[in-house]
Amino acid sequence: MSKRLKLSDLAKVVAQKAATSISKGVVISEGFETTSGKRVLDDGSKGKQVAQSPEPKKARTDTGVSGAPARPPVASGVGGHLRVFSCRTQQGFCRERPQPKKAVAESAEMEMVRAQNRAIELEGLAEEQAKGKKLTEEADAKDKVIAKLEARISELEKNKSVTQGRIIAVFKESDDFLEAVRGSASSYFGDGFDFCKRQLAHQYPDLGVDLEDVEMDYELSL
């Protein structure tokens, strides 16, 4: 059954269907449904529309397995604008968002630089430690040499004192020592000393002056 519609009524129906198509999931094609449930097609001639009876519903069989959920259709009106706006927003977000590969590469490069700097610092510390260890070893070696030299000097001094004592003892027992003593005594005690000894023995006989080595001057004794 065909039915003539006014243009104003048709515009109202289109606006209502466009507003409710997103929430209800109704697909709006070139044709529009009328209030009587029939589908109206635009035949493109003289502004007339032809109503088409609704298609019979297919029988639904319950097989126990539910089909995949259908993707909600998007109307060519408000929904189309929303889809375009969403795509543009996603494109802008993708442009503003930093590239993950580039960020990972920069982070890896920074880590490499830090590792190199750390390695250089560790090499410097190792060199300083090696120098300090070498200086310590050299100082220990010098201390050991000094200790050995001091021990040798002490031993030589001890041997020197012993040697000097032995030399003196041997020299005292020699004839050279006796002659040296006699020479020294004669320089201090000459002929006048013998005269004094004789005078002391004559005046103080109790002193027990030894006159065996003194030549007697008989002229003085008379």
Task: Report which listed range, 48-52, 172-176, 184-188, is most confident.
Answer: 172-176
Tell me which of 143 and 6 has the higher pLDDT.
143
Task: Say which range, 33-47, 135-149, 187-201, has the weakest mean pLDDT.
Answer: 33-47
What pLDDT, on a 0 to 100 scale, did the predictor assign at position 146? 92
Q: For the ranges 2-6, 28-32, 79-83, 151-155, which has the lowest average pLDDT?
A: 28-32
Q: What is the pTM of this model?
A: 0.28
Q: Identify the H or E element spanning 40.
A: strand 39-42
Please check the confidence at residue 48 and state whether its pLDDT lies above 50: no
pLDDT grade, residue 6 (50/70/90)? low
Predicted pLDDT at 46: 44
Q: Find the mean pLDDT for residues 75-85.
A: 47
Q: Is residue 47 over pLDDT 80?
A: no
The pLDDT of residue 62:
45
Q: What is the rounded distance in angstroms from the CA atom of residue 37 to the CA atom of residue 51? A: 10
- Name 42's bridge partners: 49
How much is the mean pLDDT over the chain? 67
Specify the higher pLDDT residue, 156 or 76.
156
141 or 215: which carries more pLDDT confidence?
141
The confidence score (pLDDT) of residue 202 equals: 75
What's the CA gap between 200 and 206, in Å, rounded? 10
Nearest residue to 74 via CA among 39, 15, 26: 26
Q: How many other CB atoms are there within 10 angstroms of residue 209's CB atom?
A: 16
Question: Smallest Cα–Cα separation from 72: which of 14, 26, 31, 20?
Answer: 26
Above 60 in pLDDT, residue 12? yes
Classify burial at 188, counting beta carbons within 10 Å of its beta carbon; exposed 0-12, middle 13-18, buried 19 or more: exposed
Could you state, in order of their start, the residue ranges of all structural domains in the chain?
Answer: 7-53+75-96, 174-207+214-221
Tokens of 118: 């750390």
Q: What is the pLDDT of residue 97?
A: 54
pLDDT value of position 27: 43
What confidence category does residue 16 fall into, taking pLDDT thresholds of 50, 70 and 90?
A: confident
Distance CA 195, CA 220 (A): 10
pLDDT of residue 196: 72
Average pLDDT over residues 203-215: 70
